[in-house]
Amino acid sequence: MTLLARQLLVINPNTSDSVSARLQEHVQAAVGTQAQVRTITARFGAPYISDEASYAVAGHATLDAWAAALVQPLPAPDAVLIGCFGDPGLLALRERSTVPVTGLAEASFLEAARHGRFAIVTGGERWGPMLQRLALVLGQASALAGVRTVAPTGAQLAADPDGARALLAQACRDAVCQFDARAVIVGGAGLAGMAAEIQPQLAVPLVDSVLAGARAALRFATSA
């Protein structure tokens, strides 16, 4: 099998087709010709995951999407990427899947931790404690310096790119000062591409969770 034949499956655990399109665009651009990306959308759940209840449903929706993908007459994936910054269903899908599975949060935690203690900036106020808990589950609690959320959800930020860039840039600066972070993750499928746009305003590296997820999934696929 050549690298060109590698297949990446991206599962969008919410029901927003616009988020799926954004994931497809940015993940495919990140992996280039090394893999073919296929993004599928959850068949049930919330349009955008923003609280504990929608997160719980999204874990089930992730497993359902994986099962639906397996019965389609398409090439089997070499790796799976859960396209939500929160990785709903990650451990359950990893248990069920015969191929490697990662998520936007796990991949970006690992990438950011190479720089030292890191902070997270994301949309949606309820994500703070949820991401703290996820870092603990994934063994990254000691590397996570803190989480700073902005009031708009990821979907609202994606709908207003100019306003989002200004708001996120300030939140990243505040996170660096507040937490003495050596890197900042800009987390969320809807925020793909924004880290690069605001990087010139920051003195520490910014990690785009979608691009980190794409790179990790590609490494898994090409080493399978």
pTM exceeds 0.85: yes
pLDDT at 215 over 60: yes
**3-104+212-223, what's its fold?**
Rossmann fold (3.40.50)
Locate the domains of the chain by residue range. Answer: 3-104+212-223, 105-209
User: How confident is the prediction for the chain on average, in pLDDT?
Assistant: 94
What pLDDT is attached to residue 156? 82
pLDDT digits 0-9 by tens, 127-144: 999 999 999 999 999 999
Please write down the HEC assignment for all residues of 113-157: HCCCCEEEEEECCCHHHHHHHHHHHCCCCCCEEEEEEECCCHHHH
Report the C-alpha gap between 90 and 86 in whole angstroms.
9
The percent of residues above 90 in pLDDT, for the chain, comes to 86
Mean local confidence (pLDDT), 182-192: 95
pLDDT digits 0-9 by tens, 36-56: 999 999 999 999 998 999 999
Count CA within 13 A, CB hemisphere, residue 117.
13
Domains 3-104+212-223 and 105-209 share a fold: yes
Mean local confidence (pLDDT), 159-182: 93
Q: Which band of pLDDT confidence, cut at 50, 70 and 90, is reported for residue 158?
A: confident
What pLDDT is attached to residue 3? 43
What pLDDT is attached to residue 1? 38
What pLDDT is attached to residue 2? 43
pLDDT digits 0-9 by tens, 71-91: 988 889 999 999 999 999 999
pLDDT at 95 over 50: yes
Choose the CATH number for 105-209 among 3.40.50.12500, 3.30.450.20, 3.30.70.2740, 3.40.720.10.
Answer: 3.40.50.12500
Spatial CB neighbours of 129, under 8 Å, sequence gap ≥ 6: none
